């Protein structure tokens, strides 16, 4: 047999074997990758990569803890008016942000949270369901339609029967009335708080210790203060008698200490140990509690002693507070009626958005808080803690003695005499955070004594008690024979938010504000800022030159003895020079604006070229290079 025939015999099976191997490889790829894709879509759907700069879509450890420890199934319904918002792109973009956050929680919940999205079209059962769930509609949708954009959550009870029928029914329902885009930084906190509260089976207990008549007097037919009535709807309020207090019950989630006066050492020690053990405390002190009915004090025979302090505990916590100092603020003075006259009281403050911490979930959504004769807090020189502002004065504030304020009670305008603001923003309410030492080291031998708190303990301090009273934020009104409360400030919301925030778990408290999903064009904004500065400088130059020229004209006219209608040659030359200079400066202003637009257009062109030309060109170049190398490699093998 010739060698050529032998080669032919072996060459034919070799070609068939290569082709068969190729088909076999394709079959194996199908058999491997199809099940892998199906399996990944079923079991690996929660595996994601967050490539955003601020990790917008990564849940914080606090939220993960809340979701992972859910004890009962929850049903969440996102109501969004899709048709009514077709002309509102910003709201639609935020809806996607909210929905993705909810989907992330659902993916992490292992089936314990179910999410449904509903478009409540007008006059539908879904619209009635949204309103019945506590959602608030906003106006301004397409064709005048109302816009719903909120979340309703229900904690379910019951079980699924053997036939797969879901027999669970809502046991507890809560809602977020409307997702406000301006509150996006607290989106995760608001949703996690809703999930946490739905998972709770009972109202959190809140303890109240007060020397003021906040609970009213049933004998005199006096109702509790409105702020306590609101808290009673959300929490289980427990009145605590400080005279017999030895230990704060561990079931108390939040302790409200209002106007502490003459607390016994045992009561202070109980509060001290409660805080060191992780309890949440809100302290309301006041240099002049106007609703305090205490008798005259030893330091004043004219006015009663209505100041409160917690000096021993404050000292241990590194807090500086003077119960005899009041903050005045002439720019935030509240307008009041006194003896038939309307005047601004510098010791009664109308705090607006600028004086509220917009980065704290407690005060972020509030607009107005009224306080009266408030004190202030500061840190001691040796403090190991820190103060985070909640409420503060403006920089136009001044501190005076309480006695001076009391002396000016008949004419508060006298407080503005010799007024000297010192440029300090005084802290009227703040979070105190850090590690607290016990204020009672001498009781170290007591069983169960705590020497020091955990590293991230927290106490809320408020230097005013009058903000709790009805007169500063709510007033009764009779409408159609019914007495209703007209709210004109957010004092009640502040207290509710404080208790609501502190009554949550430590996981909920750990969730702070996040970055927003809106990414501004920082380069464009920087260019605008530079141009605005140039524009402003030129505008100021123009105004200054205009004033100088007018002054020069005023000087020339009396010197020549002329009138407005008869201008001298020197005046005409001066006027003509000014007109020419004014035209030149106006041209410079236009040139600055044109330069700004040119720089922004150039930046936009570079971005477009990069996105439309450069990136696709790189992809094509990479593909061509890969194809060339693959072809070259194939030719070498042949």
* H or E element, residue 592: helix 569-608
Q: HEC states along 459-472?
A: EEEECCCHHHCHHH
Q: Where are the beta strands (DSSP E) in 189-322?
A: 205-210, 236-239, 252-258, 280-284, 319-321
Residue 561's pLDDT is 46
What would the mean pLDDT of 590-594 be, rounded to a whole number?
66
* Contacts of 270 by beta carbon, 8 Å cutoff, 6+ apart: 245, 246, 247, 248
Q: With contact defined as beta carbons under 8 Å apart, do 512 and 362 qualify?
A: no
Strands 333-338 vs 325-329: parallel, antiparallel or unpaired: unpaired
Query: Quick one: pLDDT band at residue 559, thresholds 50, 70, 90?
Result: very low
CA distances 546 to 63, 258, 528, 566, 567, Å, are 61, 60, 26, 21, 18
Across the beta sheet with 149-157, the strand order is: 113-118, 74-80, 149-157, 169-176
Helix 569-608 × helix 522-560 angle, to 10° = 180
Quick count: other Cβ atoms within 10 Å of Cβ 416?
A: 14
C-alpha 369/C-alpha 205 separation (Å) is 26
Residue 540's pLDDT is 66
Task: Evaluate whether 61-198 and 204-323+374-393+424-509 have a shared fold.
Answer: no
Residue 257 has pLDDT above 90, yes or no: yes
Q: With contact defined as beta carbons under 8 Å apart, do 348 and 447 qualify?
A: no
Instruction: Provide CATH code, domain 204-323+374-393+424-509.
Output: 3.40.50
CA distances 25 to 20, 37, 128, 334, 387, Å, are 8, 18, 58, 82, 67
**pLDDT tens-digit map of 198-245:** 998 888 999 999 999 999 887 777 889 999 999 998 899 999 999 999
C-alpha 187/C-alpha 415 separation (Å) is 43
The chain-wide mean pLDDT, for the chain, equals 82
Q: With contact defined as beta carbons under 8 Å apart, do 314 and 321 qualify?
A: yes
Residue 54's pLDDT is 56
What would the mean pLDDT of 379-404 be, rounded to a whole number?
95
Query: Quick one: pLDDT band at residue 564, thresholds 50, 70, 90?
Result: very low
3-state secondary structure of 267: helix
Residue 22 has pLDDT above 50, yes or no: yes
C-alpha 553/C-alpha 548 separation (Å) is 9
**pLDDT tens-digit map of 335-356:** 998 878 889 999 999 999 999 9
3-state secondary structure of 80: strand
Domain boundaries along the sequence of the chain? 1-45, 61-198, 204-323+374-393+424-509, 522-560+573-637
Give the pair of three-digit tokens for residue 30: 């199908």
**pLDDT tens-digit map of 141-187:** 887 889 999 999 999 876 555 555 555 677 889 999 999 888 888 88
Residue 593's pLDDT is 62
Q: With contact defined as beta carbons under 8 Å apart, do 210 and 260 qualify?
A: no
Q: With contact defined as beta carbons under 8 Å apart, do 536 and 207 qualify?
A: no
Residue 517 has pLDDT above 60, yes or no: no
Nearest to 63 by CA among 435, 505, 464, 590: 505
φ, ψ of residue 530 in degrees (nearest 5): -65, -45
Query: Quick one: pLDDT band at residue 191, thresholds 50, 70, 90?
Result: very high
Poorest-pLDDT segment among 100-104, 520-524, 585-589 = 520-524
**pLDDT tens-digit map of 492-512:** 999 999 998 998 766 766 675
Query: Quick one: pLDDT band at residue 258, thresholds 50, 70, 90?
Result: very high
Give the pair of three-digit tokens for residue 477: 């009104």
Q: Which residue has the higher pLDDT, 539 or 276?
A: 276
61-198 placed in CATH 2.60.120.200: no
Residue 308's pLDDT is 96
Q: Which residue has the higher pLDDT, 635 or 128?
A: 128
C-alpha 288/C-alpha 372 separation (Å) is 8
Poorest-pLDDT segment among 129-133, 261-265, 290-294, 348-352 = 290-294
Residue pointed to by tokens 């000087």:
555
pTM for this model (two decimals) = 0.67
Residue 532's pLDDT is 58
Q: Where are the beta strands (DSSP E) in 474-518?
A: 474-479, 482-487
Q: Which residue has the higher pLDDT, 454 or 53?
A: 454
Query: Quick one: pLDDT band at residue 364, thresholds 50, 70, 90?
Result: confident
Residue 259's pLDDT is 97
The alpha carbon dihedral of 292, 294, 295, 299 has a sign of: negative
Residue 612's pLDDT is 72
What would the mean pLDDT of 292-301 be, rounded to a whole number?
64
Nearest to 498 by CA among 385, 364, 372, 370: 364
Residue 252's pLDDT is 96
CA dihedral 60, 61, 64, 65 (to 10 degrees): -150
């Amino acid at each position: 047999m010739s060698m050529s025939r032998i080669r032919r015999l072996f060459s034919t099976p070799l070609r068939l074997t290569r082709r068969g191997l190729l088909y076999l490889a394709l079959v194996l790829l199908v058999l491997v990758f199809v099940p892998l894709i199906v399996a990944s879509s079923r079991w690996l759907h929660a595996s994601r990569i967050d490539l955003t700069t601020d990790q917008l879509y990564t849940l914080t450890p606090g939220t993960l803890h809340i979701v992972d420890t859910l004890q009962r199934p929850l049903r969440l319904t996102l109501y969004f008016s899709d048709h009514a918002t077709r002309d509102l792109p910003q709201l639609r973009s935020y809806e996607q942000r909210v929905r993705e956050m909810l989907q992330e929680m659902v993916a992490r919940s292992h089936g314990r949270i179910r999410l449904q999205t509903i478009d409540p079209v007008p006059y539908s059962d879904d619209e009635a369901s949204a309103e019945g769930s506590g959602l608030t509609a906003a106006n301004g949708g397409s064709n005048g339609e109302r816009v719903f954009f909120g979340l309703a959550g229900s904690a379910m009870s019951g079980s699924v029967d053997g036939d797969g029928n879901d027999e669970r029914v809502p046991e507890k329902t809560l809602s977020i009335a409307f997702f406000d885009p301006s509150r996006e930084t607290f989106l995760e906190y608001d949703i996690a708080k809703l999930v946490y509260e739905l998972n709770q089976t009972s109202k959190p207990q809140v303890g109240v210790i007060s020397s003021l008549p906040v609970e009213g007097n049933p004998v005199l037919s006096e109702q509790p203060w409105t702020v306590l009535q609101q808290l009673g709807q959300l929490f289980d309020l427990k009145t605590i008698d400080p005279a017999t207090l030895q230990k704060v019950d561990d079931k108390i989630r939040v302790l409200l200490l209002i106007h502490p006066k003459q607390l016994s050492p045992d009561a202070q020690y109980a509060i001290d140990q409660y805080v060191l053990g992780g309890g949440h405390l809100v302290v309301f002190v006041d240099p002049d509690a106007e609703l305090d009915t205490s008798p005259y004090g030893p330091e004043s025979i004219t006015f009663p002693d209505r100041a409160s302090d917690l000096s021993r505990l404050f000292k241990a916590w590194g807090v500086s507070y003077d119960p005899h100092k009041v903050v005045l603020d002439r720019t935030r003075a509240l307008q009041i009626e006194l003896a038939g006259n309307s005047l601004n009281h510098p010791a009664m403050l109308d705090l607006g958005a600028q004086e509220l911490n917009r980065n704290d979930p407690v005060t972020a959504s509030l607009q107005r808080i009224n306080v009266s004769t408030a004190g202030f807090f500061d840190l001691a020189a040796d403090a190991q803690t820190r103060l985070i502002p909640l409420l503060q004065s403006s920089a136009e504030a001044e501190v005076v003695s309480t006695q001076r304020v009391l002396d000016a009670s008949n004419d508060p305008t006298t407080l503005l005499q010799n007024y000297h603001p010192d440029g300090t923003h005084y802290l009227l309410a703040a979070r105190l955070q850090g590690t607290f030492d016990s204020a009672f080291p001498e009781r170290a031998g007591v069983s169960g004594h705590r020497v020091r708190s955990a590293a991230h303990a927290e106490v809320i301090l408020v230097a005013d008690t009058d903000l709790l009273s009805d007169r500063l934020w709510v007033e009764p009104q009779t409408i159609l024979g019914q007495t209703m409360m007209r709210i004109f400030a957010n004092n009640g919301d502040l207290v509710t938010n404080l208790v609501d925030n502190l009554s949550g778990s430590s996981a909920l408290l750990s969730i702070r504000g996040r970055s927003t999903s809106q990414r501004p064009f920082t380069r464009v904004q920087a260019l605008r800022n530079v141009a605005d500065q140039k524009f402003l400088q030129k505008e100021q130059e123009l105004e200054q030159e205009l004033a100088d020229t007018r002054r020069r004209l005023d000087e020339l006219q009396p010197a020549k003895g002329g009138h407005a209608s008869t201008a001298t040659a020197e005046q005409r030359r001066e006027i003509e020079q000014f007109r020419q200079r004014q035209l030149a400066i106006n041209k410079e202003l236009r040139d600055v604006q044109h330069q700004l637009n040119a720089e922004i257009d150039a930046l936009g062109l570079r971005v477009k070229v990069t996105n439309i030309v450069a990136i696709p060109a790189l992809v094509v170049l990479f593909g061509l290079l890969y194809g060339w190398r693959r072809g070259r490699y194939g030719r070498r093998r042949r």
